A and B are shown apart, each in its own frame.
Chain A
Amino acid sequence: MSNNSANWLTRFHRLGSPPSFYHLAGALLPWVALLCIGLFAAGLYGGLVLAPADYQQGESYRIIYIHVPSAWMSMFVYAVMAASSAISLIWRMKLAEAVARASAPVGATYTFLALVTGSLWGKPMWGTWWVWDARLTSELVLLFLYLGYMALVAAIDDRRTASRAGAVLALVGVVNLPIIHFSVEWWNTLHQGPTLTKFDQPSIALNMLIPLLLMAGAFKFHYLYALLARVRIEILDSERRTAWVNALVSQRPS
């Protein structure tokens, strides 16, 4: 039993070692890209062409196919960032630091998109671009958390100190995630309640739901691609003085 778990740990460690992760990520990237593009094609066709108009909102509801995946990903990426920050603080694992740092700009992009597409949806339906209700405000706070994390990490010269300071900030901000999620239940807001993540049946027709799930999958793979590509850069940067990076760059015709 202990032998088995030790074996598993070494394998995990080897995967977490910078050179093997660098190469593994490089091999995975084309496949991730392919899946992502395929899901986007299917989701966009389903969402923009096949799905019917909404009984209340007409065609304008089609913004849901980018707004909801962006909003989900804005929280998912933060959860990944916070989890890898915790791992990097406790186990001092370099790869976890790289994942946290690489996630921040991608998560900030999703948060920005959730806010902008929500605003473009809110104007025709609610009658306003913006309202300071609990859901919108807490999502805006999430954007500031991402930007604060990026600024903090960029401001500290020493790589590991920067990662550690950022990790503490990321963990402090994790309290915002349940606030965003439950804001529409805890307080009265202009934003509507959850459609899919409530316990009874999702209140969306199946031919509208399937494209939404496809788009959510496409966004997941988009994040995976952006994450792997960025982690590779983080690895190259932090390992620039090591023998394997030297061997890698001298192989290249310059």
Chain B
Amino acid sequence: MKPRRRQRLLLVSLLVAGVAVAAGLALLALQENINLFFSPSQVVAGEAPANTPFRLGGMVVDGSVRRSDGSLEIQFDLTDTAKSVTVAYTGILPDLFREGQGIVAQGSLGTDGIFNATQVLAKHDETYMPPEVTEALEKAKAMGVQ
């Protein structure tokens, strides 16, 4: 390789490396702000901001969904398997909302420890399967066959 080309190669590598380091440091500094939501554990530990709206993410606890008759009011518990927080919400839920589903709720924490959500978003997993396959898998699991 000719020296001039080697020099240019070095310059290009330095440019990319420099930008990568700068971006890495910036992202590291912003780490917490880039996360979309707080987990129930963080909320219980008091890490979530008080008095300002934030997002709370977790799984809907099985059997925790309580609907009130004749209105769109709903209460359910969100968990990250360690801690859980009760969420109250009034409105239309996304199609994917169900027990065991990942959910991101926007709202604020009341003094009673209940999270009052103004918006509920469903987070789906990265698995794509036909319904028959999941049924078969669940049946197999129920029968204790792996």
Contacts and interface: CB of A to CB of B under 8 A. Distances in A.
Interface of A: 52-57, 60-61, 64, 86, 89-91, 124-128, 131-134, 168, 171-172, 174-175, 179, 186-190, 192-195, 203-205, 207-208
A205 B127 CA distance: 8
A208 B133 CA distance: 12
| Top-7 shortest CB links A-B | A127-B94, A52-B130, A203-B127, A55-B134, A204-B128, A133-B36, A195-B126
18 contacts: A54-B128, A54-B130, A55-B131, A56-B96, A56-B124, A125-B122, A126-B124, A127-B122, A128-B121, A134-B34, A134-B35, A171-B12, A175-B23, A179-B27, A187-B36, A203-B126, A203-B128, A208-B130
B7 to A, nearest CB: 9
Given A134-B34, A203-B126, A124 B95 contact: yes
Interface residues of B, number: 39
What does DSSP make chain B's interface, helix, strand, loop or mixed? mixed
Find the residue from A64, A131, A204 having the highest chain B CB count within 10 A: A131
Contacts of A134: 34-36
B72 to A, nearest CB: 14
B83 interface: no
A90 B12 CA distance: 8
Nearest to A85: B12
Contact of B130 (A55, A64, A90, A133): A55
B129 interface: yes
Interface of B: 5, 8-9, 11-12, 15-16, 19-20, 23, 27, 31, 34-37, 39, 57, 93-96, 104, 119-134
